[in-house]
Structure 1
Amino acid sequence: MLLDNTAKGVFPIAPTPFHPDGRIDEASVDRMTDFYLECGSTGMTVLGVMGEAPKLEGGEALDLAKRFVKRASSIPVVVGVSAPGFAAMRALARASMDAGAAGVMIAPPNTLRTDDQIVTYYRQAVEAIGEDIPFVLQDFPLNFTVVMTPGVLRRIITENASCVMVKHEDWPGLEKISALRNFEKDGMRHVSILCGNGGAFLDFEVERGADGAMTGYAFPDMLVDLVKLSSSGQRDAAHDLFDAHLPLLRYEQQPVVGLAIRKYIMARRGIIASDAQRKPGAAMSATAKAEVEYLLSRVARHDARAKLAAA
């Protein structure tokens, strides 16, 4: 099951569940994967930015990827393989693909500054992992400080046939989606576009031509419904659902503490057993938890999935 340019829907970015003592919680890995399958996810992405990949040892990362792939056998799993050097990237990419992954995701190192440096980096990354491995180009300038213009993305897509998807996380980035789709009208090879940023702009991103989401909001089932509604032409219903979740979604987008919020809600929903992060990690204050509970009660007025038992 190889990833290709027809991918669409929702590929949740899976966090890595930990026990409070820092050990990987394998039972929660399985339960979370089952939840993603049950709510209609069309794929999964693991070892991404919100998966705390840099906190994992090399062997742990591969074992975790293998577990996700085996559990989610009916949908494609993309493995984040970004690394400071190409040797580590190649090793994780090849081993993940051998274990049944559908493709890999590559983010640019924050040392890249010029257009030519960016294009060259991706050419060399493909040479390192092999042209037979489909890859997702992660465009996330707010996190990696690497700005890719639509023209740079076109160069990378054109030069590397194994680039089948752009994970679009520019902000603001609606015009970039339109530019890429217009390039396709002018002859550029089609690629899938799945969007990140917690789904903060997903309502209009899909209308601009994105194929769905690759992100980690604590209600991925809402993202699945939103994409389906929008794709079927139910614009008002899609926006009504999005608007109901927007205050909570915005709250989860806070830098530094965002992962703690996401894990807290996922634990409250019973998707994972604990909201623990592997150190170092930001913790939520009692006040922040109370604010999240209030926001959940607000969302629950419109979406019963947010109506949770008392903490």
Structure 2
Amino acid sequence: MRLTPEASGVFPIAPTPFMPDGAVDWNSADKLFEFYADIGSDGVTVLGIMGEAPKLEPEESVGLVKRAVAKMGGKPIIVGVSAPGFAAMRSLARQVMDLGAGGVMIAPPPSLRTDDQITGYYAQAVEAIGTDIPFVIQDYPLTLSVVMTPAVIRKIIQDNPSCVMLKHEDWPGLEKISALRKFEAEGSLRHVSIVTGNGGIFLDFEMERGVDGANTGYAFPELLIDVVRLSKAGKRDEAHDIFDAHLPLMRYEQQQGVGLAVRKYTMMKRGILAHNAQRKPGSALSAAAKAEVDYLLARLAKHDPRADI
């Protein structure tokens, strides 16, 4: 299924499962995508920043896309295709779309500084991959160091009809969401899907500001689905109640440098991944950190039985 501007819901960022020796754990990859489909995800994102995409060989990247397409039951697969050069970006984008992906996600390189550089980069990227491929803007200044104002995002969207989604993970970013939706209400911005990242840590109020869902990772993606569903149903207190129960673990997982290690450790304990390994270079949890995660899970289980592991 191709990604459209009407896309909504939860598109979890899939971590790449590895064996302890660094090889891709293909059995866990199959199980992971089956899990995302079974819990009601609206799609999935592969080869994202938290998917350790730069550590993969080209054939491994393609293999993960093939498995996602095979296991997700026709739901849109978003593939991160960011690359230092447009030739590599074009090659991967065309290849994954031929395999059945729904669209691609493009992050700006950290060297961009001015508004003209940012909008010019996206124009060149679209020219490189082709205007027939739906694409997602990744706005992640905390990691990428590229600051996109609402006006810059509007220009990228208006100038490039193949842009169908914004992955918004600015921090703080609630006012940016409101500004973009105001542009849309005034008629100066066509509608595109807005989904948010940052591990879901602001999803409760992001939904209330008008986003369409989440495109992020968390060891309990079911929680993201719950918050989006309850928020859309107008059940504000219920959405905040379940969100608040998970917030201590979400906060712990949001730590720079060890967040992926926390997520993989929890998903291993849940039986979703066979191992919590990262491909080198990568971080590892100390015994003290694992004990802290275990404690947070035990506390969470008092409110959400899915954490009783």
TM exceeds 0.5?
yes
Which residue of structure 2 aligns with residue 159 of structure 1?
159
Give the Cα separation in 2 of the matches to 1:159 and 1:269. Answer: 44
Which residue of structure 2 aligns with residue 99 of structure 1?
99
Over the matched positions of the two proteins, sequence identity in percent amounts to 68
Which residue of structure 1 aligns with residue 119 of structure 2?
119
Q: Which stretch has the larger CA shift, 63-72 or 120-129?
A: 63-72
Compute the TM-score of the two structures, normalised by the length of structure 2: 0.99
Which residues in structure 2 correspond to 1:127-166 (within 5 Å)? Answer: 127-166=127-166
Give the Cα separation in 2 of the matches to 1:271 and 1:192. Answer: 29
1:157 to partner: Cα distance: 0.4
Deviations 1:92-124 (A, max 9, x none): 000000000000000000000000000000000
Deviations 1:189-234 (A, max 9, x none): 0000010000000000010000010000000011101110110010
Give the Cα separation in 1 of the matches to 2:271 and 2:225. Answer: 19
Which residues in structure 2 correspond to 1:27-106 (within 5 Å)? Answer: 27-106=27-106
Give the Cα separation in 2 of the matches to 1:105 and 1:144. Answer: 14
Deviations 1:15-37 (A, max 9, x none): 00001111111110111111111
Letter in 2 for 1:297: A
Which residues in structure 2 correspond to 1:223-302 (within 5 Å)? Answer: 223-302=224-303
Give the Cα separation in 1 of the matches to 2:97 and 2:183. Answer: 30
Deviations 1:38-77 (A, max 9, x none): 1110010000000000001122112221221122132110
Compute the TM-score of the two structures, normalised by the length of structure 1: 0.98
1:141 to partner: Cα distance: 0.1
Unaligned ranges ≥5, structure 1? none
Which residue of structure 2 aligns with residue 172 of structure 1?
172
Give the Cα separation in 2 of the matches to 1:237 and 1:68. Answer: 32
Give the Cα separation in 2 of the matches to 1:182 and 1:225. Answer: 26
SS at match of 2:69: helix
Letter in 1 for 2:206: E
Letter in 1 for 2:241: D
SS at match of 1:170: coil
After superposition, the CA RMSD in angstroms is 0.6
SS at match of 2:218: coil
SS at match of 1:146: coil
Give the Cα separation in 1 of the matches to 2:103 and 2:132. Answer: 10
Q: Which stretch has the larger CA shift, 55-64 or 23-32?
A: 55-64
1:137 to partner: Cα distance: 0.2
Give the Cα separation in 2 of the matches to 1:103 and 1:69. Answer: 12
Letter in 2 for 1:306: A
Give the Cα separation in 1 of the matches to 2:287 and 2:132. Answer: 49
Give the Cα separation in 2 of the matches to 1:307 and 1:71. Answer: 26
SS at match of 1:79: strand
Letter in 1 for 2:182: N
SS at match of 2:275: coil
Q: Number of aligned residue pairs: give it.
A: 308
Give the Cα separation in 1 of the matches to 2:253 and 2:86. Answer: 33
Which residue of structure 2 aligns with residue 304 of structure 1?
305
Deviations 1:1-21 (A, max 9, x none): 210001111000000000111
Unaligned ranges ≥5, structure 2? none
Native 8 Å contact 2:37 2:71 kept in 1? no
